[in-house]
């Protein structure tokens, strides 16, 4: 193969990345009007109220409620499967008696084996689902904890930070440990590329953090924890889907049922110890149009989760870093729009800004390489990729059916 760079054909399921991007853009539009920072900008007085903790708590509630919206597609899917089973039964009834008895016997044997396996699987599925619910709760709780510790300050980080390459490493390692995924030369190359980019961007972020207030700098510790919780959650979720043969909708419902327990405990704690200081601000967060924005958040969270889990189901959790990069690009575009709206020139960005953009372009290519969307055929990196293994299989099949000596010699050179 003379080509050094090979682009794989785009799978139709890639359309879910587009759907996810649309849902994330809508989510940010809602955030623009719903986030406490936008409220503070309109206040005339110098003493600004602090609503960040209440806002984070409401996002936690919205994410939990959105899980139960999965009941709608769950029952639709159940109805469709039921209709399919009824059609299959009607087909069986049209078979002759011998074929029908043979099929029923096979079904009894299969169902008996399946029942024994199900008993063993249910226990593990319950444990995995509890862990998934805890991790999803912690992913939101970590920001509430930040606002509690640092007196309700906003948790903000600069654009194109080290979080994305770190998330790529988290996702790769968690998939390797939990899903037992194999890492080949191309994956190792991408992983080391992510590690190098992580170190470079981390150095740039440390320079940025030194200039910040100490409390603001701690935001760079809380965001990586969020990505770590989500990376492990997605890998465990994929394992539950494969191991338990359950749909993503049922997984979301189960996660929501378990997660609501932890949300309830946290809410009780906040009500007892922080009622006067923080929880009363929730009423402010739900005044007038903000109620509509809160309900909109629930719907958007639902679609965002659905598209996220469909990507995990149709592909692997290692495709999630692509959505994280999409998030970063969308956030950057929104920040540009904000700068323009308040008359800040783009040229006022610091020197490292353009370096970060360049590194993120390389980072995106690295993620595409890891998932073999782009295959690098240099120094044997592509030898173990699915593309070349499929190509080798086709060559061997053609070789096996070839009869002419000249053709056989040609294929021998390819195989060797």
In angstroms, the Cα distances linking 86 to 93, 97, 100, 111 are 11, 19, 15, 18
**In the chain, domain spans:** 5-384
CB count, 10 Å around CB of 386?
A: 12
**What pLDDT digit, counting tens, does each position of 381-415 carry?**
666 666 555 555 555 555 455 555 555 455 454 44
pLDDT at 394: 55
What residues of the chain score a pLDDT lower than 70? 1-3, 38-49, 88-118, 212-216, 276-280, 339, 341-349, 380-416
Reduced to 3 states (helix: H, G, I; strand: E, B; else coil), residue 176 is helix
Spell out a b/e string for 207-220, using b for 16 or more CB atoms within 10 Å of the CB, else e.
ebbeeeeeebbbbb
This prediction has a pTM of 0.82
Tokens of 10: 């785009």
Question: Residue 224: its pLDDT value, please?
Answer: 93
CA distance 391 to 389: 5
**Exposure class string for 168-187: b at 16+ Cβ within 10 A, else e:** bbbbbbbbbebbebebeebb
pLDDT digits (tens, 9 = 90+) for 152-171: 788 888 888 899 999 999 99
| Structure tokens belonging to residue 339 | 């700068």
| Tens digits of residue pLDDT in 312-321 | 999 989 999 9
Length of the chain: 416
Per-residue model confidence (pLDDT) at position 108: 45
User: In angstroms, rounded to a whole number, what is the distance separating the alpha carbons of residues 323 and 311?
Assistant: 9
């Amino acid at each position: 193969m003379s080509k050094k760079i090979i682009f794989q054909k785009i799978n139709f399921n890639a359309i879910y990345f587009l759907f996810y991007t649309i849902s994330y853009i809508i989510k940010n539009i809602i955030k623009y009007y719903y986030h406490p920072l936008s409220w503070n900008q309109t206040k005339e007085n110098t003493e600004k109220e602090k609503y960040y903790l209440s806002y984070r708590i409401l996002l936690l509630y919205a994410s939990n409620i959105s899980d139960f919206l999965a009941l709608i597609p769950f029952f639709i899917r159940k109805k469709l499967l039921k209709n399919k089973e009824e059609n299959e039964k009607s087909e069986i009834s049209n078979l002759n008696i011998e074929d029908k008895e043979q099929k029923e016997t096979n079904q009894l044997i299969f169902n008996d084996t399946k029942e024994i396996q199900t008993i063993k699987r249910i226990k593990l599925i319950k444990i995995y689902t509890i862990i998934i619910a805890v991790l999803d709760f912690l992913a939101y709780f970590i920001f509430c904890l930040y606002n509690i510790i640092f007196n309700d300050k906003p948790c903000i980080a600069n654009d194109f930070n080290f979080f994305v390459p770190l998330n790529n490493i988290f996702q790769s390692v968690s998939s390797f440990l939990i899903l037992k995924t194999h890492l080949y030369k191309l994956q190792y190359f991408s992983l080391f590329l992510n590690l190098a980019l992580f170190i470079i961007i981390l150095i740039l972020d440390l320079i940025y953090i030194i200039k910040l207030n100490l409390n603001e700098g701690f935001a760079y510790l809380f965001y990586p924890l969020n990505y770590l919780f989500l990376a492990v959650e997605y890998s465990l979720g994929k394992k539950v889907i494969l191991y338990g043969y359950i749909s993503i909708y049922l997984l979301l419902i189960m996660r929501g049922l378990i997660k609501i327990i932890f949300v309830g405990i946290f809410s009780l704690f906040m009500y007892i110890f922080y009622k006067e200081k923080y929880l009363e601000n929730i009423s402010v967060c739900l005044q007038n149009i903000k109620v509509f924005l809160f309900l909109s958040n629930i719907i958007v969270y639902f679609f965002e989760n659905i598209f996220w889990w469909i990507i995990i189901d149709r592909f692997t959790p290692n495709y999630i870093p692509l959505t994280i990069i999409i998030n970063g690009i969308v956030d950057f575009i929104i920040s540009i729009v904000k700068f323009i709206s308040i008359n800040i020139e783009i040229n006022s960005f610091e020197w490292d800004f353009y370096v970060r953009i360049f590194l993120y372009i390389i980072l995106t290519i690295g993620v595409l390489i890891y998932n073999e969307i782009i295959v690098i055929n240099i120094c044997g990196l592509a030898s173990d990729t699915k593309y070349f293994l499929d190509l080798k299989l086709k060559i061997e099949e053609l070789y096996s059916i070839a009869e002419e000596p000249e053709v056989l010699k040609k294929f021998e050179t390819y195989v060797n």
